[in-house]
Amino acid sequence: ISLLSNRRFGIGFDQLLVVGQSKIKDVDFSYRIFNADGGEVNQCGNGARCFVTFVHDKKLTNKDEIIVETRSGIIKPKLEANGSVSVNMGPPIFNPIKIPISVPKETNKYSLDVNDRRIEFGAVSMGNPHAVIIAKNIDDAPVETVGRLLENNELFPERVNVNFMEIRSRESVNLRVWERGAGETLSCGTGACASVVFGIKVGLLDSPCKVFTRGGELTIFWEGGESDVYLCGSAQSVFEGEIDVGGGTQ
């Protein structure tokens, strides 16, 4: 997978989605998600949107709402009339044991000393672990340096995705994300969800909230508490092709 993800010698991607059949009754598909370094992850918001576009482009289904099995559970992405895709991402997780983050108790904000600098962040799981840092200026945010250090810090036993969020208004933010196993990516759906959820939880944001990333725009809906988080955005096919892997064309 790491060879295929290479942008010079492979296909070039942040994540690989493998689409298959589900053995669960009334579930339309299953898919597995792999980061660029080959590590398998539980959930990917942008991947879910791309998945819906893919199965419709390939005419594998004619359903607008699709029931899909992932490692983190069942999701129901929906193709909207305007061509965008909305995904019910389920409720956010704040329990430190379930995120997971090695802290004695749950709180809205955590802190960690990194390179003689104290970093404050929120912690949320949307099927995968996220740390959320408020940034004054997204362009100057230390995404690679702090992102890499937090990703691999022992505080996070399964590593962590690190989100840098600049608040534009109560209904919009700018976001950059350092993803575990991939580095900085142009957009991260679960990162957008986790960041907005954290912002709403601490009273800085309202729902719905627009998230502007370097790869495009997303809209996040969350009514608070144990309610589900909804992600909405567009996806489009870029190209298709074949590649020889291990002597067999795929």
Write out the two tokens for 76: 């129901």
Q: Are 95 and 105 in contact (CB under 8 A)?
A: no
Q: What is the mean pLDDT of residues 171-180?
A: 98
- Annotation marks residue 232 as catalytic: no
Q: Return the residue matching tokens 């729902």.
A: 207
Write down the CATH number for the domain with range 110-233: 3.10.310.10
pLDDT of 30 strictly over 90: yes
Task: List the catalytic residue out of 44, 50, 193, 209.
Answer: 44
Task: List the catalytic residue out of 50, 188, 193, 232.
Answer: 188
d(CA 147, CA 174): 16
Alpha helices by DSSP H, 1-142: 2-5, 45-57
Residue spans of the domains in the chain: they are 2-82, 110-233
Q: What is the pLDDT of residues 182-192, one digit of tens each?
A: 899 999 999 99
pLDDT of 247 strictly over 70: no
Domain 2-82 has CATH 3.10.310.10: yes
- Annotation marks residue 50 as catalytic: no
Q: What is the pLDDT of residues 37-70, one digit of tens each?
A: 898 988 888 888 899 999 999 999 999 999 999 9
Q: What is the mean pLDDT of residues 96-111?
A: 97
Instruction: Please determine whether the domains at 2-82 and 110-233 fall in the same fold group of CATH.
Output: yes
* CA triple 52-132-116, angle to 5 deg: 145
pLDDT of 101 strictly over 60: yes
Q: Which residues have C-beta within 8 Å of that of residue 195, sequence separation ≥ 6? A: 130, 132, 163, 165, 173, 175, 211
Q: What is the pLDDT of residues 107-155, one digit of tens each?
A: 999 999 988 889 999 999 998 999 999 999 999 999 999 999 999 999 9
Q: What is the mean pLDDT of residues 60-88?
A: 91
Beta bridge partners of 167: 173
Q: What is the pLDDT of residues 203-222, one digit of tens each?
A: 999 999 999 999 999 999 99
